Every structure is written in C-alpha cells, then in structure tokens.
C-alpha cells in the first residue's frame, strides 16, 4: 500500500500543482485557466486527472464559486510549499551562475509609487536588464496578504508593521509636510503644530490608506470629536488633495517626497510640522523568501532612486502606521 501511494505521488507534475493552486485562488475554472495561459478544458482535464491519481475529490463543484474539500485544503497548502521550494532551486542555479535575473513580483502603496516607480523602472533597466519587474499598486493589508500567500515576492510599504515572519529593510525616511491654502489661518507661520490644521478644512486620503492613518495620528485626531466634522472629502490621490486645497481652501498632509515634486509656485504653500516625526518606508518580504541575490540588487537600486535627503533618519521619531 505504501509503495502504491508513493507511486501516485511520483506521478504528480508541477504543472498540475500550478493549475491546482490557480484554481484555489480564482475558484473558477475559466479564470484559473486564463491566469495559467491555457484553455479551460486543458485545466479541467488536468485537475480531474490529479483527483483520479490521488483518489480524492479536491474541489466541491456543487458550490458556486467552487470550494476546496477538506482534503483539498491540505493538498493545496502542500502544493504551494512544493512550488515555492521548486522556485528556490531555480534561484540557486541563477545565483550559482552569478546571474541577477528572473521575475520579481512587487507590491507598492499608492503614496510612494508616483515618486519612486519612474526612477526605479529606469534604474532597473540600466543596472539589471535581466530582471523582469511585475508591479502592482495595492494597500498595505493587500500587500501583506499576497506576500504571505507567495503571490508577491516583495512589498514597498510604510513601516514598522512588526508582523511575525516578515522582514523589514528600511529604504528611506521622509517628513510629513503641510500644504496650506493662502487663506488658511496658520498660513503666515513657517512651522506649525499639526493640530493647527483643525482651524480650517482638512482634506485627507481615503480610508484604508496607511498615510491617512499616520496623518490622523500626527494631528492627534484618532479619538478627537473634531474628526467627524473635519473631513469633508476623502481622496485616494495626494495630487487631487493638493488641487482641492488650491481651489477650496483648507489644508492637507503630504509626504516629503511629494513636496519635492511640486511646481515652484506650489512649494511656497508648504509648511513644516513641529517635532521630529517621520515616515519610514521599507522593503518587506517573508523570511522564507528565496531570491536573495535578486532582492539585494533590487534593494540597492531602490536606495539609489531615493533623494539623498531622505536616506537618513537622523534620530527622528518614526510615526506608527496604525
């Protein structure tokens, strides 16, 4: 019996395991097939063949969307581990040959992407032309979730997160800047306490964005009765908030790197925040991440893309993400 079972396992292919994990992710045969670049009949046939070889049903097809059976959940989890270990072999071979090459799946939060990505794409293509970047703009929670599921290799997010099994390598630190309309009561001050923003309309990023949470912490608003009355509009874009302040008055909080990219006439509306609070931005990945040489090359390139004034903390206080 043991020999028969081992024979069944030996007959499994990596392609079948890839189809299996894709079907678990999409819970739909057509979508899973599209993600694997095969036809739906091909994927369905291989899943059926896999079930026959293992002599178990891996998915309950009576449900919509389909769901894994109890044994299917266990097999899928092990399949993910097998595929991850296989990728490690590929990376060992690349590193042995001294190559910095391969696919790197990156998640990056929206408040960093517009300023970092143009530089990063240019630098990667010049330094490491054999690295293929696949970049997705996502919220921090989504990035962490996809890293833990091995759907992303690395993430670029605000830290500290202090999540078990997650490594954080700081890339840069940036101050929080205040962007004020000329009619704001505190406009004539060069430096102000963030709480002074409550003297007029305050425009912030939408819920779910970690920079919004940090701005709320900066202004000490999390438990403030002013919170409900202050936010008249929420946006997913820092650039949109700046335009709203220009037209409608009030103020907003923006990251330092965003302030460096403003037009000269807009830079005169920037004010400093009293105190030493900064935002820490890091490269994050799981402890079992296999692409060591690739990630080192990526990390060094990230640092080269950052303006010199943002690379050092200078003993400033890192503001928490939550």
Q: What would the mean pLDDT of 205-227 be, rounded to a whole number? A: 67
Does the structure show a pLDDT above 80 at 47? yes
Provide the percentage of residues in the chain whose pLDDT is more than 70: 83
Does the structure show a pLDDT above 70 at 226? no
Provide the residue count of the chain.
322
Does the structure show a pLDDT above 50 at 126? yes
Under CATH, to which class is 2-93 assigned? mainly alpha
More confident of the two residues 122 and 320: 122
Q: Of 12-16, 170-174, 285-289, which gets the smallest average pLDDT?
A: 285-289
pLDDT computed for residue 3 by the predictor: 45
DSSP state letters, 248-259: H--EEEEEHHHH
What phi and psi, each to the nearest 5 degrees, are found at residue 168? -120, 120
Using pLDDT thresholds of 50, 70 and 90, give the confidence band for residue 1: very low
Q: Are 241 and 201 contacting, i.e. CB atoms less than 8 angstroms apart?
A: no
pLDDT computed for residue 4 by the predictor: 45
**Euclidean distance between CA atoms 297 and 128, whole angstroms:** 8
> Quick one: DSSP state of residue 320?
P
Q: Nearest-CA neighbor of 128 among 161, 99, 165, 108? A: 99
pLDDT computed for residue 315 by the predictor: 67
Domain boundaries defined on the chain:
2-93, 102-322
Q: What would the mean pLDDT of 235-239 be, rounded to a whole number? A: 78
Q: Nearest-CA neighbor of 157 among 149, 168, 165, 146? A: 168
Using pLDDT thresholds of 50, 70 and 90, give the confidence band for residue 322: low
Neighbouring-strand partners of residue 290 = none
pLDDT digits (tens, 9 = 90+) for 53-102: 899 999 999 888 899 999 999 999 889 888 877 776 766 666 665 566 67
From residue 270, alpha-carbon distances to 237, 253, 254 in Å are 17, 10, 9
**Euclidean distance between CA atoms 220 and 227, whole angstroms:** 10
pLDDT computed for residue 304 by the predictor: 92
Mean pLDDT of the chain: 83
**Euclidean distance between CA atoms 129 and 127, whole angstroms:** 6
Start-to-end Cα distance in the chain: 54
pLDDT computed for residue 275 by the predictor: 78
Q: For residue 207, how many C-alpha atoms fall within 13 Å in the half-sphere facing its CB?
A: 3
pLDDT digits (tens, 9 = 90+) for 153-173: 899 999 999 899 899 999 999
pLDDT computed for residue 67 by the predictor: 93
pLDDT computed for residue 233 by the predictor: 55
Q: What is the CATH number of domain 102-322?
A: 3.40.190.290
């Amino acid at each position: 019996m043991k020999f028969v079972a081992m024979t069944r396992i030996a007959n499994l292919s990596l392609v079948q395991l890839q189809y299996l994990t894709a079907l678990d992710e999409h819970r739909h045969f057509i979508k899973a097939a599209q993600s694997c670049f095969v036809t739906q009949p091909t994927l369905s046939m291989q899943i059926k063949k896999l079930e026959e070889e293992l002599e178990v049903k891996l998915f309950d097809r009576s449900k919509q969307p389909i769901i894994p059976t109890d044994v299917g959940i266990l097999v899928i989890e092990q399949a993910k581990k097998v595929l991850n270990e296989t990728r490690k072999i590929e990376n060992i071979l690349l590193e042995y040959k001294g190559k910095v090459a391969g696919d790197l799946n990156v998640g990056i939060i929206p408040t960093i992407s517009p300023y970092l990505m143009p530089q990063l794409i240019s630098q990667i293509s010049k330094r490491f032309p054999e690295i293929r970047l696949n970049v997705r703009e996502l919220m921090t929670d989504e990035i962490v979730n996809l890293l833990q599921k091995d759907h992303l290799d690395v993430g670029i997010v605000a830290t500290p997160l202090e999540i078990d099994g997650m490594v954080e390598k700081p890339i840069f630190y940036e101050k929080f800047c205040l962007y004020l309309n000329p009619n704001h009561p505190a406009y004539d001050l060069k430096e102000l306490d963030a709480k002074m923003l409550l003297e007029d309309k305050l425009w912030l990023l939408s819920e779910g964005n970690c920079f919004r949470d940090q701005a709320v912490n900066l202004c000490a608003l999390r438990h403030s009765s002013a919170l409900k009355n202050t936010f008249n509009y929420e946006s997913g874009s820092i650039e949109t908030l700046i335009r709203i302040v220009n037209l409608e008055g009030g103020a907003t909080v923006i990251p330092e790197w965003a302030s460096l990219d403003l037009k000269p006439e807009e830079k005169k509306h920037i004010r400093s925040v009293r105190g030493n609070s900064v935002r820490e931005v890091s490269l994050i990945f799981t402890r079992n991440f296999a692409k060591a040489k690739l990630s080192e090359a990526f990390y060094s390139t990230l640092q080269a893309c950052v303006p010199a004034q943002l690379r050092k903390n200078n003993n400033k206080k890192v503001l928490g993400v939550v």
